Chain A
Amino acid sequence: MGAQSDLFGLEVERALGAAAESPAPISLRKAVLDPVPNDGVDGALDEPRAPHDREA
């Protein structure tokens, strides 16, 4: 049980490390350089969304 748990942990660590290498979307660069007031993204920090509701 413990060994299985450790293996899970190692794989999660590797997976999250891969995610940390993700490049930012082009649209985000544009939003950073040309900010629009109340662009609708700000609230995400204070109002965590339910799973599955990110648009494709």
Chain B
Amino acid sequence: MSESDDFSRFVDAHLDLVYGFAAARVGRDVADAVVLDVFRSARHTVDRGEGEVLSRSWLLTRARNRILAHWRLVAERAESESSGDTPAREVRIGTDWDAERVLDALDRLPAAERAVLALRYLEGRPVAEVAHMIDRPHATTQQLLEKARRAFHALALPTAAPTAAPV
């Protein structure tokens, strides 16, 4: 079996995992770049004869490092890419989230808003830690997070979905 076949199998086994990990955090465009970068590094590792170190965790660690670098970059530009205020929408509980629709919404959010949503809700970091990571005051980060949530719901919620009963 050739080295090329081995690498193809490795890609097929892990591509969706790395792509989904990245797309949910940075949107599809940047996810494409993350995936290409990660697997390019994997190929170089194989070329150096060190392919035995490659694993799921190797890929996700590298993807995560690239995403963190991207978040730091977009946070520096946060003030210049505001999406404007979005009116609050009623929360719909139990929405059957369609991945494509969610990704469409993420693609349309400003990068800084995607970053705080992912840090808070995918990474599970407290707001104070999110603020530290993007180097913004706590109150500013909280405001950005609330704005991002409203914008995300406005973009992602199916318009015809039933509204949840009041809790």
Inter-subunit contact A44/B33 (CB<8 Å): yes
Q: What's the least CB distance linking A56 to chain B, in Å?
A: 10
The number of A-B residue pairs with CB atoms under 8 Å apart is 147
Stretch at the interface among B47-55, B103-111, B130-138: B103-111
Asked if B120 lies at the interface with its beta carbon under 8 angstroms from chain A, I say yes
Asked if B144 lies at the interface with its beta carbon under 8 angstroms from chain A, I say no
What secondary structure prevails in chain B residues at the interface with A?
helix
Chain A residues near B167: list those with CB within 8 A: 3, 7
Chain B residues near A49: list those with CB within 8 A: 29-30, 111
Inter-subunit contact B29/A15 (CB<8 Å): no
Contact with A along B88-123 (1 / 0, CB 8 A): 000111010111101101111111000001101110
Inter-subunit contact B70/A48 (CB<8 Å): yes
What secondary structure prevails in chain A residues at the interface with B?
helix
Q: Which residue of A lies closest to B88 (CB)?
A: A4
A17→B105 CA distance, assembly (Å): 14
Which A residues are closer than 8 A to B by beta carbons? 3-5, 7-24, 28-29, 31-33, 35, 39, 41-46, 48-52, 54
Q: List 30 A-B contacts (CB under 8 A).
A: A8-B91, A9-B121, A11-B92, A12-B152, A13-B121, A15-B97, A15-B105, A16-B102, A17-B122, A18-B102, A20-B21, A21-B20, A21-B99, A22-B20, A22-B23, A22-B24, A22-B100, A24-B16, A24-B35, A28-B35, A31-B32, A32-B36, A33-B8, A41-B33, A45-B33, A48-B111, A51-B83, A51-B107, A52-B107, A54-B107
